[in-house]
Structure 1
Amino acid sequence: MSIEQRIHAHYAGLSPQERRAADLILDHIDDLALYSSAELAEMSGVSRATLSRLYRHLGFGSFTELRETARTLRQQGVPLGPDGDPELSQHLDQELRNLRKVLDPAGDDRTARAVSDLAGARTVLVVGLRNSHPVALHLKQQLQQAREGVRLAPLPGQTLGEELVDVGPGDVVVLLGFRRRPSGFERLVSFCAQTGARTLLIADGTARRHASSVDLWIECPLGSVGPFDSYAAAMSLVAVLADGVLAAAGEDGRRRVSRTAEVYAELDELDLR
């Protein structure tokens, strides 16, 4: 049961003081992880002993357990955060931390290895479900300008089976697995690994348990000071990978970019004014 469900289930049996504290928790459920038990007691005007009784009535051993439940929800991608709008400087600092983590030049060679795999593959299948789909779509669009044989899955109205049936040795499957993934993601990772294709997983830390099942794992943080995840680092990683693949393609890649631009012009698809 969620924290709200527990409060609603026990509310009728709470004392007036406990109800006051429960009301405060419900009012601050989005940023509960930011407060201490003493702060909640002061804000609600009840004693810490009253709060302790409330925690027990809700099935929590302590405030720490209650707060960890709230933090777990945030880590799972539930949009929880402070009531106020964070300062832009806080957003900037967090974005820089995310970028440094995924693009640290002093780190290992995972990005270079990913570029090598993507440039040398027979075909590249980019898979992105739910929150991961926009990043997957952008990666597919960028890679497609640098090399041929790049596909996106799932397509609208399609399931994954149609796209995976031809995947095999010599191919690369890029799995975008950012948090709040569909429940069948683990099975998808396992299936892709069994095809014989090279598998690359790009995701936040909640997908770390799948890292041992793929050939290459790149952790891409989504940390944000606000309620919603930030995909700025993920989109920056897409740019780095696409730039690397284009550079590896050499003259063939440059010709493909030029021909793509010619097709845009022939179809009058882009407003370049």
Structure 2
Amino acid sequence: MLIVTIEARIQARYADLSPQERRAADLILDRLDDLALYSSAELAEMSGVSPATLSRFYRRLGFESFTEVKEMARNLRDQGVPVGPDTDPERAQHLDQEMKNLRRVFEGAEDRLSQMVSSIAQASTVLVVGLRNSYPVALHLKQQLQQARPRIRLAPLPGQTLSEELVDLGRGDVVVLVGFRRRPRGFGTLVEVCAATGAQVLLLADGTARRYAASADLWLECPLDSTGPFDSYATAMSVVAALADGVLAAAGQAGRQRVNRTAELYDRLDELDLR
């Protein structure tokens, strides 16, 4: 893990660093989440040390140059590793970033959202697949869609393999693949196998999944950018709400009747605390 390695190297050598090098080290540790945005000269100015001191500091950490450090930082952040300053991000900055993420989706992909709604509403069976950190988003999508229409399934189920869930799919069905970064290996093969079933494949993911988009029928990019170390799934959950709203609207009276029947069962089984 590259940025973790940077942190580990700094911590291992911190006691032996000169006062100026410690100033540079402190700044880098505070800027790990956006380190790739700065030049070496900018970091030197921000830390109050000379460019030569900063260059020596990189070499003491085992890097050839700041370019190598930036590339490592960029690669790891793109992989979704939670790195960044120990300080809590300003709430205003957090809100601003969330709004940017939402605008990127809802101002740039209205047609694709509508197409996804139509595909889900008209499908015979809808299988929602989510692995690792994509599973909560997939589960929420399944739960919402299930209130609007029948034959909504989720995979993988406990104790089941994906193969068992894919075997009955064919033309007229839809697979919604939720594939946010830090996916397990073999995700590209999964996309291809889903497409080979004949079902329509809808891909819901962040920008790191662009390379899989060609194997999907429709794909929607949900940015996970945040001001802190962890990815934000607010946009993904908002897209889930938009898809479910659209499918319920497309279901018309049948959808409303299904919602009412479900509510009656909740009441009969006394399953929900509605007070």
TM-score, scaled relative to structure 1 = 0.88
Q: 1:192 is paired with a residue of what secondary structure? A: helix
Partner of 1:170: 172
Cα RMSD of the aligned pairs, angstroms, is 2.7
Q: Which runs of 5+ in 2 are unaligned?
A: none
Query: Cα offset for 1:89?
Result: 1.2
Tell me which of 37, 55, 62 is aligned to 2:65.
62
Instruction: Give the conservation status (yes or no) of the 8 Å contact 2:128–2:142.
Output: yes
Call closer, same or farther: CA 1:57–1:81 in 2, change over 3 Å.
closer
Q: Give the whole-Å Cα distance in 2 for the aligned partners of 1:210 and 1:148.
A: 29
Query: Cα offset for 1:24?
Result: 4.2
Q: 1:223 is paired with a residue of what secondary structure? A: coil
Partner of 2:121: 119
Matches within 5 A, 1:250-261: 250-261=252-263
Partner of 1:96: 99
1:94-148 deviations in Å (ceiling 9; x for gaps): 11111111111x6451001000100010100000011111110000000000000
Instruction: Give the conservation status (yes or no) of the 8 Å contact 1:146–1:245.
Output: yes
Call closer, same or farther: CA 1:82–1:24 in 2, change over 3 Å.
closer
Query: Cα offset for 1:166?
Result: 1.0
Instruction: Give the conservation status (yes or no) of the 8 Å contact 1:32–1:67.
Output: no
Query: Cα offset for 1:60?
Result: 3.9
Query: Cα offset for 1:35?
Result: 5.3
Q: Give the whole-Å Cα distance in 2 for the aligned partners of 1:225 and 1:5.
A: 21
Q: Give the whole-Å Cα distance in 1 for the aligned partners of 2:99 and 2:228.
A: 15
Partner of 1:37: 40
Quick one: which amino acid aligns to residue 69 of structure 2?
Answer: L
Percentage identity across paired residues of the two chains: 68
Q: Which runs of 5+ in 1 are unaligned?
A: none
Query: Cα offset for 1:32?
Result: 6.2
Q: Give the whole-Å Cα distance in 1 for the aligned partners of 2:249 and 2:4.
A: 52
Partner of 1:207: 209
Partner of 2:53: 50
Instruction: Give the conservation status (yes or no) of the 8 Å contact 2:109–2:220.
Output: no
Q: 1:199 is paired with a residue of what secondary structure? A: strand
Query: Cα offset for 1:162?
Result: 1.4
Call closer, same or farther: CA 1:139–1:53 in 2, change over 3 Å.
same
Partner of 2:251: 249
- Range with bigger deviation, 162-171 or 205-214: 162-171
1:185-215 deviations in Å (ceiling 9; x for gaps): 1111111011100000000101011111100
Q: Give the whole-Å Cα distance in 2 for the aligned partners of 1:92 and 1:23.
A: 29
Partner of 1:81: 84
Q: Give the whole-Å Cα distance in 2 for the aligned partners of 1:22 and 1:95.
A: 30
Q: 2:168 is paired with a residue of what secondary structure? A: coil
Instruction: Give the conservation status (yes or no) of the 8 Å contact 1:21–1:51.
Output: no
Q: Give the whole-Å Cα distance in 2 for the aligned partners of 1:35 and 1:209.
A: 27
1:160-204 deviations in Å (ceiling 9; x for gaps): 111111111111000001111111111111110111000000001
Partner of 2:157: 155
Instruction: Give the conservation status (yes or no) of the 8 Å contact 1:4–1:26.
Output: no
Query: Cα offset for 1:83?
Result: 2.8
Q: Give the whole-Å Cα distance in 2 for the aligned partners of 1:114 and 1:4.
A: 39
Partner of 1:2: 2
Q: 1:109 is paired with a residue of what secondary structure? A: helix
Quick one: which amino acid aligns to residue 115 of structure 2?
Answer: R
TM-score, scaled relative to structure 2 = 0.87
Partner of 1:235: 237
Tell me which of 72, 75, 80 is aligned to 2:75.
72
Instruction: Give the conservation status (yes or no) of the 8 Å contact 2:9–2:61.
Output: no
Instruction: Give the conservation status (yes or no) of the 8 Å contact 1:37–1:48.
Output: yes
Quick one: which amino acid aligns to residue 236 of structure 1?
Answer: S
Partner of 1:272: 274
Q: Give the whole-Å Cα distance in 1 for the aligned partners of 2:176 and 2:214.
A: 15
The aligned length equals: 269
Tell me which of 217, 221, 226 is aligned to 2:228.
226
